[in-house]
Structure 1
Amino acid sequence: MFKCNSWVNTVFVFKLGLFFSAIALSANAADDGPEVGEPIYQLVDSNYINLAGGQINYSLNDLSIGHGALALTHHISINASDALNWDAVFPGYKEKYQGAIRRTEYSRETVPDWPWGLRENYEVTTVTDDIGTTQFEVNDSGQFEAMKNKNVTLKIVGSNFELTREDGTVVIFKRTSPNPSVLTPEYNARGYMTQIKYTNGHTITIHREAGADSIGSIGSTPIKSVTSNNGLQLKYIYDRHSRPLEASKRSSTNRPSMPADSNNWSYYHPSKIIALNNAVETCPILGNTCETQHEWPEVNYHWPDGMPRAFYIGSSLFSVTDATGRVTEFHHKALSPNGDIEDVTDGEATFPRIVRIKSNTGEEVGYKYKNTFALIPSGMSVWYAPTEQGVIIKALKNGRSTSYNVGTLMHLYGRPGTGDMQAFGGAYKSINSVRTKTTSTSPFGKKFTVPYLIESWNKKVHLSQDIINKVERIEDKLNQTTTEYHYDTYGRLVGVDGVNSQTIAYQYRYNGQCSSYKTCNKPTAISDRYGYGSTGRYTFYTYHNQSGQVQSIKNPKNRSGLIAEIKNIYQQYYATYINSAGVLANANEPIWLLSSSSTCKNSNMLNGNCSSNDKVTTTYEYGTGGAGNNLFLLGTTLTTQGEPTVRRTCFKYDKYGNQIEISQPKSNISSCNIGREYE
């Protein structure tokens, strides 16, 4: 079993406190720009309940290798109340790299009291990548248009789909649907995720078993490896088997139509994933073997035999063992759709629910559920119909019980119309309630549901009730203040105002027309705090066009008339690692990294020069030579114009990407490239 270091063995630890610390960057040596103060809010409480829908929402970071922004990480998430999630495109937990494009039902509308009934489904193109899901419609111009965030785009480019996120990251999907001559709302888009390209050139590639790109599929073969162009790899291993249900479940008649198909389940769901540094060694990109000379971190997944039917009979356990040997357990139980939800009789069409989660820290949360029903008018009569199965009603954590009342989304008998849903929680120092609104719009069948009021123990968050669903204001219960948020036509935050006696404000400025997503959604100027009746002082930003990273920062003039300005220079670097042919070689594609950063010690900067010849420059080293190199920051060298002193700080890493040594700036090291090979 691999045990990763939870500490850093710093042999020469030294923290250099500089008055010009604005140019000091982390060991990632990257600057993607200032943090825009968009409001952050949560819908998931401390019991892992998403109060907008009443479902369990649990994310587990289970594997990582590398360092900082150039690390390769893995996580799984469960966003339903069971880990099976049978109705999903890819049943089971949400795998970070199992991205897909497909046509799905977005909403439906029913008028049940018509003589023959009327029901219409509204379908959209749903894109799932490594960070979330975006829905697209086809507009009147025959183009994909995001329903919520207009700064996200989707295009057909040759044999691929290209999703561009608002930060400029491009996600590539192999297109397995036909190429339409004209894009219409009826187009059945299908594809699977193959690459994630960040703006600085850092690229993650997903490798599948052959046959994934058959027409109509969405990546119907399993992932075999995930690799990065700085020499890191996640190797997926599958323990394919045909083991039957455990003996105690074989005689059950619950859900006989649900297959006990271990062979198929184990084909698509890995038993483990191994994280390797290809600068040291590699495993086959495809295939199902990974014989290594070194010890590498791995995560193991444990499903019961006879999946998926096992989850519909009695109690079942899905567990995850991470690289440190810690176990996360998801305990399931098959529940009844009728009467007493806990009282299951043989032959029922049961459904699974998570009844207990035990985290890898030992924390446990238990859950209870109920079935809900509604009175539905139909002509001259009313009938009693089930609406939801297994709705959360209680969670128990650390001896503290939290009750939930998740309202059922009401049926809409015509349009336009609205329906409200409210979920009450109350976990300790957590979310108390979430109000959501469902609005019908044109065409018939299209509805959207958004949260518009989130109340927690310390604040109220008010959101717009349109599909964009931006935060409009936040009321702080503790200090009795209200903050309002304002946006431009592109949905970018342009102002933050305090609505109370202690008024403050921020202002953000952007380039007008968006010509490059690498830069256009990043602010070109941000004001400091100021009260009404005064004028804000702005800090100005420019960006490196090729990578989207900050190229310059110009601060407001201080009382001495000096303007602190920072200039950054970027350079392309190639990682060196063992490729799929087993040869140590440079990567095919480079990564833009910060090579130097400069400012003036006590004067103003003009055209990159300091008026008093007192430029302070920090250069960044990533290693040279023929040995394996993941482009982790190896050192920084600080020099001041006119001064002979050179301050060099070196960083050393182990093969897993843990930073294990930091040298003192006065340690007389001539080059941080010396001894950079992994131990």
Structure 2
Amino acid sequence: MLNWTMGKVSRVNGMSTGRMAWFRMGGRGVSGALSVALLAMLCGGGAPAPAYAQTKMSPLTLQAPEVDAIDENFVSAQTGKTHFSIKAVALGDVAFSPTTVAGLYFQYGGAIADNNYGYIVNCNPPTGYQTYGGVFQCTAPSPGPSLQVIHGEERAIFILNTSTGAYAPASNDGSSFTDGGGTCTWTKRDGTQISYVGFHVSGNPLCQSNNISKITYPDGRILTYYYHGAFSTADVNGQSPILSIASNSGYLLKYTYPSTPTYGGESSVTAINRAYETCDPAALSCSLVNPWPTATLSWQIKTVSTSDNFVSLGTSYNPYHHYIFTITDQGSRNYVFELDSYSRVISYQPPQATAPMYYYSLCNVLSDGDTLQNCFGRAKWNANKTPSDPTSQPVSQYFDMVSSSTKNGQTWTYSFNPSLGSYPAPSSWKHTVSSPLGTTITANGNGTPGTEQVYQQGPISSVTLYDGTTYAYEGSWRNYVSRATTPSGKVTGYGYDSRGNLQTITETPYSVSGSSAPTITRSATYPSPCGYIVSCNKPTSVVDGNNNQTDYTYYDTTHGGIRTMTGPAVNGVRPQTRYFYAQRRAWYRNASGVMLPDSGYIWVLTSTSVCKTGAASGDGCANSGDEIRTTYDYGPDSGPNNLLLRGVVVDDGGLSLRTCYTYDMYSRKISETKPRAGLGSCS
């Protein structure tokens, strides 16, 4: 049986948060270039929003390769479908990014998916003969009941133990899921909690949901969702339309609709700093005084002279109607898409162009219900044949795949070769991208979810990129990268613990005449068992390739920030940096326009301490006058205040130097002073 359902979540900003059935579906799709980040050791966490530039420090971590298989034409090398994620507007810690993934399109008349929406669906048992179910379905990795949690482009599956009522992550990645009846919560491996408005159906023990209620981050930041109308308890098409997403740091994302709000039917989305502007997040609209960053979505019907001749979608379907969909971002840049009569992208004009640059030919089933077009050599669907007929392999998994794409007159071709297994033996799949230069990308794997453990073959077996570098994946549902091999023969192996933390990276040099370079091993240690999820998936020690060790301690029970970082010995002393935090509240205008502090506290980094030459002692230094103390200022406990970094003071015991920053209402830094002695405070 061959099953092409979306089962896992993409790797996002570093360590995996779960997976999709393919290995990389988001995050960098907008760049258009296929890239591989082999960052074995880095300062984790990426660049935070300016309001939290000093919230907490991240440890030096081991990191597995991040394989971005969205090619230079925005086509996924796994699903074979176009994948776009346009970051149209952002301010502080709120953002709006319309997106497409397999089975989702920029649909005319509404239902525009973006990375803020989320829901929960029940998975199908992996039994019998199955075909591609699209993004709205998933197949369980075991016969027991399971569900898939969804947040934008992220997905993860949890399996229910019906005896205990507890859920376990299918990917064994250290995440968790709890069912609280009216609220069901996905806790990611870093401690971020996504709370869903839950409902239950009689006879079904699994939680279901159409809407996220809030997202809580380990440092105390909270995104609260506001919707129009009552919450639906129907199916995943019953999502309530978002009115606003409000942050307890004072930022607000406001969705505006041309008439009665409908899911995905917004005409614009505006990011507002409530420290400077009043807007009720529960209101349908706000009368704004200031010009705030705004993204607009617009549609235009394009009548074509030749019918698409696709199978009818119903009485409202018009095969002569194409659609021009334009996303205008906060910088007034236009992303222009032509959609066919099925609302699928067939051309794309990026902001720097004045005409379409990318054209796509897609696999279609024509109006007779059996004839196929652009479907990798398949001419007929054979939809009415029985599964036992070896010539009747269904081709619904081909639908919407890109068969070719053209850019600047050059053509990339795509092939898809599924191999039907005999149940319960797994089916397999292989997808190839051929560039105009003759180079290729290939991806292949298991096409039958639920058989990974038995046959030791994960959703992805291997991926080979244009340059010949090959990535092999674990033969399990977790399916992490296990080995990378370069064309020259260098092999890098990756080893993980039971929660999916990367423990070892072993580099075996390639053979070079006359060379005898040693194998290089790097390692990390993590808490076991996991006492507090905010810190247990962060390393307590990291050993580099020269056997130098760095140790970490954390504030385990609170926000998970680093408390101490102790480096390798220098002149017999191990240098240590100590970190200190405090809770602060942002000040902004409530729905009535009154400036008040938020009720929720956010953890911010207030100071760090290091010793110049000697050893550390407690929260200070063993030697008098040896300490360098750096303190961070986030402004007064009054408004307006988004907890942006206002000043930094570096005091080495003999001289105190202060640097000050100011920001405009868009949280952009507009001034910075030089370090100055004798300055008592930042205005």
TM surpasses 0.5? yes
1:290 aligns with 2:286: yes
Q: Deviations over 1:338-369 (max 9, x none)?
A: xxxxxxxxxxxxx4431111122328221112
The within-5 A match list for 1:41-52 is: 41-52=67-78
- The more displaced of 394-403 and 511-520 is 394-403
1:664 aligns with 2:674: yes
Q: Deviations over 1:206-264 (max 9, x none)?
A: 11124126687886431111110010001111002xxxxxxxxxxxxxxxxxxxxxx78
1:173 aligns with 2:196: yes
Whether the 8 Å contact between 2:61 and 2:524 is mirrored in structure 1 is: no
The within-5 A match list for 1:167-566 is: 167-177=190-200, 187=206, 189-212=208-231, 220-240=239-259, 268-304=264-300, 309=316, 312-334=319-341, 351-362=342-353, 364-369=357-362, 370-371=374-375, 372=378, 373=380, 382=391, 386-387=395-396, 388-407=398-417, 409-415=418-424, 417-427=425-435, 432-439=441-448, 441=450, 450-458=459-467, 459-477=469-487, 479-500=488-509, 501-530=517-546, 536-545=547-556, 546-558=558-570, 560-566=571-577
Q: Counterparts of 1:384 and 1:101 in 2: how far apart (Å)?
A: 30
Q: Highest CA radius of gyration, 1 or 2?
A: 1
Go from structure 1 to structure 2 and tell me whether the alpha carbon gap of 1:447 and 1:564 turns closer, same or farther (over 3 Å shift). closer
Q: Counterparts of 2:552 and 2:492 in 1: how far apart (Å)?
A: 25
Whether the 8 Å contact between 1:543 and 1:550 is mirrored in structure 2 is: yes
Q: Counterparts of 2:447 and 2:234 in 1: how far apart (Å)?
A: 36
- The more displaced of 277-286 and 101-110 is 101-110
Q: For residue 549 of structure 1, report the CA deviation from its aligned partner.
A: 1.1
Match of 1:652 among 649, 662, 683: 662
Whether the 8 Å contact between 1:440 and 1:447 is mirrored in structure 2 is: no
Q: Counterparts of 2:126 and 2:89 in 1: how far apart (Å)?
A: 36
Whether the 8 Å contact between 2:507 and 2:519 is mirrored in structure 1 is: yes
Q: For residue 537 of structure 1, report the CA deviation from its aligned partner.
A: 2.0
Name the SS for the 1:270 alignment partner. coil
Amino acid at match of 2:292: W
Q: Deviations over 1:130-176 (max 9, x none)?
A: 45111222125332222224411110235211110000111111113
Q: Counterparts of 2:436 and 2:607 in 1: how far apart (Å)?
A: 48
Q: For residue 505 of structure 1, report the CA deviation from its aligned partner.
A: 0.8
Amino acid at match of 2:444: R
Q: Counterparts of 1:79 and 1:380 in 2: how far apart (Å)?
A: 32
Go from structure 1 to structure 2 and tell me whether the alpha carbon gap of 1:511 and 1:270 turns closer, same or farther (over 3 Å shift). same
In structure 1, the partner of 2:184 is 161
Match of 2:589 among 572, 578, 587: 578
Task: Report how many residues are paired.
Answer: 582
Q: Counterparts of 1:547 and 1:149 in 2: how far apart (Å)?
A: 23
Name the SS for the 1:94 alignment partner. coil
Percent of aligned pairs with the same amino acid: 21
Amino acid at match of 2:534: K
In structure 1, the partner of 2:16 is none
Go from structure 1 to structure 2 and tell me whether the alpha carbon gap of 1:101 and 1:441 turns closer, same or farther (over 3 Å shift). closer
Structure 2 residue ranges without an equivalent (≥5):
1-42, 132-138, 303-312, 363-373, 510-516
Go from structure 1 to structure 2 and tell me whether the alpha carbon gap of 1:637 and 1:162 turns closer, same or farther (over 3 Å shift). same
Go from structure 1 to structure 2 and tell me whether the alpha carbon gap of 1:666 and 1:495 turns closer, same or farther (over 3 Å shift). same
Whether the 8 Å contact between 1:153 and 1:165 is mirrored in structure 2 is: yes
Whether the 8 Å contact between 2:116 and 2:152 is mirrored in structure 1 is: yes
Q: Which TM-score applies when normalising by structure 1? A: 0.79
Match of 2:155 among 133, 137, 155: 133
Match of 1:611 among 622, 647, 668: 622
Amino acid at match of 2:101: N
Go from structure 1 to structure 2 and tell me whether the alpha carbon gap of 1:147 and 1:303 turns closer, same or farther (over 3 Å shift). farther
Go from structure 1 to structure 2 and tell me whether the alpha carbon gap of 1:138 and 1:447 turns closer, same or farther (over 3 Å shift). farther
Q: Counterparts of 2:237 and 2:504 in 1: how far apart (Å)?
A: 42
Amino acid at match of 1:590: Y
Go from structure 1 to structure 2 and tell me whether the alpha carbon gap of 1:455 and 1:428 turns closer, same or farther (over 3 Å shift). farther
Amino acid at match of 1:205: T
Whether the 8 Å contact between 1:504 and 1:529 is mirrored in structure 2 is: yes
Go from structure 1 to structure 2 and tell me whether the alpha carbon gap of 1:574 and 1:154 turns closer, same or farther (over 3 Å shift). same
Match of 1:64 among 85, 90, 96: 90
Go from structure 1 to structure 2 and tell me whether the alpha carbon gap of 1:378 and 1:466 turns closer, same or farther (over 3 Å shift). closer
Amino acid at match of 1:475: T
Q: For residue 106 of structure 1, report the CA deviation from its aligned partner.
A: 6.9
Q: Counterparts of 2:167 and 2:534 in 1: how far apart (Å)?
A: 20
- The more displaced of 193-202 and 37-46 is 37-46
Whether the 8 Å contact between 1:110 and 1:411 is mirrored in structure 2 is: no
Name the SS for the 1:490 alignment partner. coil
Go from structure 1 to structure 2 and tell me whether the alpha carbon gap of 1:544 and 1:353 turns closer, same or farther (over 3 Å shift). same
Whether the 8 Å contact between 2:387 and 2:393 is mirrored in structure 1 is: no
Name the SS for the 1:518 alignment partner. helix
Q: Counterparts of 1:272 and 1:358 in 2: how far apart (Å)?
A: 20
Whether the 8 Å contact between 2:198 and 2:207 is mirrored in structure 1 is: no
The within-5 A match list for 1:17-96 is: 28-29=53-54, 30-66=56-92, 71-80=93-102, 83-84=105-106, 92-96=111-115
Name the SS for the 1:64 alignment partner. strand
Q: Which TM-score applies when normalising by structure 2? A: 0.78
Amino acid at match of 1:275: A
In structure 2, the partner of 1:630 is 642
Q: Counterparts of 2:658 and 2:524 in 1: how far apart (Å)?
A: 37
Q: For residue 305 of structure 1, report the CA deviation from its aligned partner.
A: 6.5
Amino acid at match of 1:60: I
Go from structure 1 to structure 2 and tell me whether the alpha carbon gap of 1:193 and 1:106 turns closer, same or farther (over 3 Å shift). farther
Q: For residue 413 of structure 1, report the CA deviation from its aligned partner.
A: 3.6
Go from structure 1 to structure 2 and tell me whether the alpha carbon gap of 1:175 and 1:393 turns closer, same or farther (over 3 Å shift). same
Match of 1:592 among 600, 603, 624: 603
Amino acid at match of 2:177: L
In structure 1, the partner of 2:28 is none
